A and B are shown apart, each in its own frame.
Chain A
Amino acid sequence: MEAAMDLMRRMPPSLSQQALDSLLALLPAHSSQLLSRSDQPLQVAWDEEFDKDYLLCDYNRDGDSYRSPWSSKYKPELEDGVQPSAELRKLEQEANEVFSIYRDQYYEGGISSVYVWEPEDGKGFAACVLIKKDGSDAGDGRRGLLQEGSWDAIHVIEVKEDEDHQFGHYCLTSTVMLALTTANQSSGPFSLSGSITRQMESDLSIENGHLCNIGRLVEEMESKLRNGLDQVYFGKTKEVVFTLREPLGVMSATSHVGQSLQRMIVNDLGRSR
């Protein structure tokens, strides 16, 4: 199992779906672990009753069926599919409304889904907020540059209340998956894809309710991730390319040629004394 997870981490992000499918075929006994531990771009299903899309993940799955956050019904149908308690279902419904507005505000389109459940230890509750946006030509994208452009965000929050029920302890683990491919111009095919994960913990007063706090934390996290994207996705990968092939003609101290030039000058200075 650990070998399987290591393979998932090493395979290029563009092949991660295929890698997961291969491992599921090879190790069917480990399928639930594989599915819950690996991040894949979110798949979409349609809720006929509410006329809305919803997102699929391990947290709304029961066997091979997935529960809609709108109707709370499973598709394919399941007679005795797992359902959240009445209290948690109410929170879940509210959360979906709130994040729908959030999504519209920040993403101007896209799909969101929130699922709430009771963790195994029975203390507090957990929720996941999922957002998917397709920014390509085919999707809601504005610019024609992108042939393929998708953003998938998965936020998992664990919430525990203190004894006096005054404060909540929130533990947020977020993963954003981004895939960008340019349309084939004279510059040739170019793609940038992958995921970054961050964690955040916070203690907040519950006077305005949990949902308010969760909303705030997710908003803060997404903003951090969006800024981190520039640094990680674009900055770091560009840096990697530059270590493979140096930009010549730029005599910086950090370049290979720059360094040997610097050494030469220092030697010359030493000799002239």
Chain B
Amino acid sequence: MEDRISEEDEYEELADDQKVAIGKWFLLNAPPGQVSQVAKDVREVLMDERLYDQAAKEAFPEYNVKNMISLEMPDGSGQVLLTEFGQLDRSRYLDPRTASVAVVDHVKQVCTEVRPADDEDLPSAYVEGFRFSVDAALMKYVDDAFQGGECSVYCTKGKDVEKSGGEFELTVVICNSSYSPKNFRGGCWQSVWRVLINEELRTATLQGTISVNAHYFEEGNVQLESSRKFNDTVTLQDGKDAGTTIVHVIEHLESVYLSSLEVMVKSLFEVDAVWL
């Protein structure tokens, strides 16, 4: 409660790059939906427009990809998801669903231009058949289970594979984030599923990571953070749509995760009551 006047009344001033690093750190850790408010605060505490601009320039590209921000494409064809899987370079992102490339301004969080993708950025027709099927089933699942969620399916390995030409990998991405200040809550769900398809063996091997962050801040500030990895293999049957089969597994595992979270929370409470 007491402060002493030190011998040197001056305080040690931080170097510019240290200030930028702090500004960047705050921006990168902004909770879902709150980056513009955090940006406003960072601007004020840095007290230097030049330093803020530098921090924003460095932080936003990373923030947008880490949080899988989705931006409206100006041609009205929908939203493009910014992920590492679709990143062509620092400001261009592939949207596999519309086979187009979105050019984005990270700091403004806006898609400035949309162009058709080059053939070399797109998978072979053979692989695209699978990608399309998974995407169609995925959109239906996401529509049912994630209110306001966005999703995408990328070909991340073997995009030039032709029939009987070997394995290829599709990466399924689901992201749902929400922020409701009037309900004092916010959060984000992200799932990334690597699906290795081997048509000869008729298998799809899935490796997934689900991460969840939930934030509640009425009369306080409470956060739940959890992530879990899953592995599974499924047989692709003749006459059964591959996309439906694969998404069905994802849906099942994600439901398993959801109920395990509930159990975890309950058991923690019991522990809590015992030792307190």
Contacts and interface: CB of A to CB of B under 8 A. Distances in A.
A10 B223 contact: no
A248 B276 contact: no
A180 B31 contact: no
A27 B42 CA distance: 12
Contact of A7 (B1, B42, B271): B42
A263 interface: no
For chain A, the bracket of interface size reads: 35 or more
Quick one: which of B147, B262, B275 has the most chain A CB within 10 A?
Answer: B275
A32 B228 CA distance: 41
Given A142-B274, A238-B265, A247 B224 contact: no
B250 to A, nearest CB: 12
B174 to A, nearest CB: 9
B219 interface: yes
B46 interface: yes
Given A145-B267, A245-B176, A236 B272 contact: no
Contact of A9 (B3, B40, B217): B217
B220 A194 contact: yes
B275 A149 contact: yes
A146 interface: yes
Contacts of A106: 276
B22 A3 contact: no
Contact of B29 (A15, A31, A63, A180): A15
Given A12-B223, A141-B275, A180 B144 contact: no
A239 B185 CA distance: 10
B146 A244 contact: yes
Contact of B37 (A10, A31, A141): A10
Contact of A236 (B22, B222, B261): B222
B14 A58 contact: no
Contacts of B149: 244
A252 interface: no
Interface string B21-34: 01001100111001
A6 interface: yes
Given A23-B45, A180-B272, A63 B4 contact: yes
A232 B226 contact: no
A22 B29 CA distance: 13
Interface stretch (B108-116, B151-159, B186-194, B238-246): B186-194
B187 A240 contact: yes
Contacts of B264: 182, 187, 190
Contacts of A18: 25
Contact of B2 (A61, A149, A226): A61
Given A10-B31, A241-B214, A192 B267 contact: no
Quick one: which of B1, B22, B189, B220 has the most chain A CB within 10 A?
Answer: B220
B145 A26 contact: no
Contacts of A219: none
Contact of A82 (B2, B26, B178, B222): B2
Given A191-B224, A240-B216, A117 B275 contact: no
A248 B248 CA distance: 12
A230 to B, nearest CB: 6
A130 B266 CA distance: 27
Q: Which 4 A-B pairs have the closest CB atoms?
A: A194-B222, A196-B220, A188-B228, A3-B44
Given A237-B222, A246-B145, 20 more contacts: A3-B43, A13-B221, A28-B11, A135-B276, A187-B264, A191-B226, A197-B220, A233-B222, A233-B269, A234-B268, A237-B223, A238-B224, A240-B214, A240-B215, A241-B261, A243-B147, A243-B185, A244-B188, A244-B189, A246-B144
11 contacts: A11-B31, A22-B22, A82-B2, A143-B274, A182-B268, A191-B225, A226-B273, A237-B222, A240-B187, A241-B187, A244-B187
